[in-house]
Amino acid sequence: RKGNVIITGASSGLGLATAKALAETGEWHVIMACRNFLKAERAAKSFGITKENYTVLHLDLASLDSVRQFVDNFHRLGRPLDVLVCNAAVYQPTAKEPSFTAEGFELSVGTNHLGHFLLARLLLDDMKQSDYQSKRLIIVGSITGNTNTLAGNVPPKANLGDLRGLAAGLAGLNSSSMIDGGEFDGAKAYKDSKVCNMLTMQEFHRRYHEETGIAFASLYPGCIATTGLFREHIPLFRLLFPPFQKYITKGYVSEEEAGKRLAQVASDPSLTKSGVYWSWNKNSASFENQLSKEASDAEKARRLWEISEKLVGLA
Ligand code: NDP
């Protein structure tokens, strides 16, 4: 049978390119989990994804109610779940003030981490029940959260500290809107959320890989300097960032190539290892990369898991 894959944020950028790469193999039915239903439908059409290979379902990761509704709606489709790709993200590098999710969590961590954390936890049972030969849960990471790299050392650096802001609810009014309890910084909040994504993948691996056989993985697909992720950046940055990445850092990768990489992690028979953070070298060959000290801190991953469970109402 065809595999069934859910991709969050499949209405643009990396998620859309991945949806296309998987759908056009004819071996996958892609559930595009998107906050903007019409945009997703239009995107699928303009990318030439054929109707029988995809379904759009509404999902707003900035609302835990919406995450729960999405899971109910997915169940109504009556399809098994074989692969889940947590891809959607918001990035607010120029925001002066924090904004918040429906439940009042700072938006970047609330969407990128907490929304996906609840989604993945709620869908784990579906994946357990699937009889597919190679089940995978993929969470898109980033080099910017990895302080063992050059890009990860551009300030403000990711740092979750002792998680005191998260434990207090990231609410910004009576507590801090930042995980480490510090002052709001939109670029740092994004990087912190990506560290959470990478820690979550490893904690899933430790808790569930042996029991379920599901492969849990993360990846850095390269710098896709042209996606909507940078939509809130200043115009000069948006103008100069793609050529800078292409010609200076040479870390640039097209949306199409990045989509192929994520599709590989989701489906390639040679990338089944669990607990891995994948990257690609200059020849576009995949390799197991090292995470930074913080992004591979098992004790921090455990505490992040436990606090996140409380915040999303699972504990
Ligand atoms: P885009 O902004 O193009 O895509 C992000 C997607 O997330 C969009 O489809 C967007 O929906 C969706 N989204 C945002 N908020 C929500 C929400 N509340 N609920 C549901 N969906 C939401 O950026 P990219 O394609 O670049 O980003 C995809 C992933 O790749 C992210 O995880 C990012 O961190 C990661 N990444 C990107 C890199 C890059 O260089 N671009 C490098 C490394 C990692 P909508 O279309 O409605 O706006």
ipTM of the complex: 0.98
Mean pLDDT of 148-174: 85
Mean pLDDT of 274-296: 92
Residue 208 amino acid letter:
Y
SS3 244: helix
Mean pLDDT of 261-283: 95
HSE-up of 304 (CA within 13 Å, CB side)? Answer: 31
Confidence of residue 223 (pLDDT cuts 50, 70, 90): confident
- Residues annotated as part of the active site: 190
Mean pLDDT of 295-309: 97
Ligand 1, residue 62: give the atom nearest the CA. Answer: 18
pLDDT confidence of residue 238: 84
Confidence of residue 189 (pLDDT cuts 50, 70, 90): very high
Contacts of 64 (CB under 8 A, 6+ apart): 101, 102, 103, 114, 115, 118, 312, 313
**CB of 60 sitting under 6 A from ligand 1:** yes
Give percent above pLDDT 90 in the chain.
80
Mean pLDDT of 168-193: 91
* Interatomic CA distance for residues 312 and 315, integer angstroms: 8
**Higher model confidence: residue 30 or residue 244?**
30
The protein residue whose alpha carbon is closest to atom 8 in ligand 1 is 9
pLDDT confidence of residue 135: 98
pLDDT confidence of residue 145: 66
**Higher model confidence: residue 293 or residue 126?**
126
Q: Which segment of 41-50, 198-207, 209-218, 234-243 scores lowest on mean pLDDT?
A: 234-243
**CB of 145 sitting under 6 A from ligand 1:** no
Ligand 1, residue 35: give the atom nearest the CA. Answer: 20
Mean pLDDT of 182-192: 95
Going from the Cα of 210 to the center of ligand 1, the distance in angstroms, rounded, reads 30
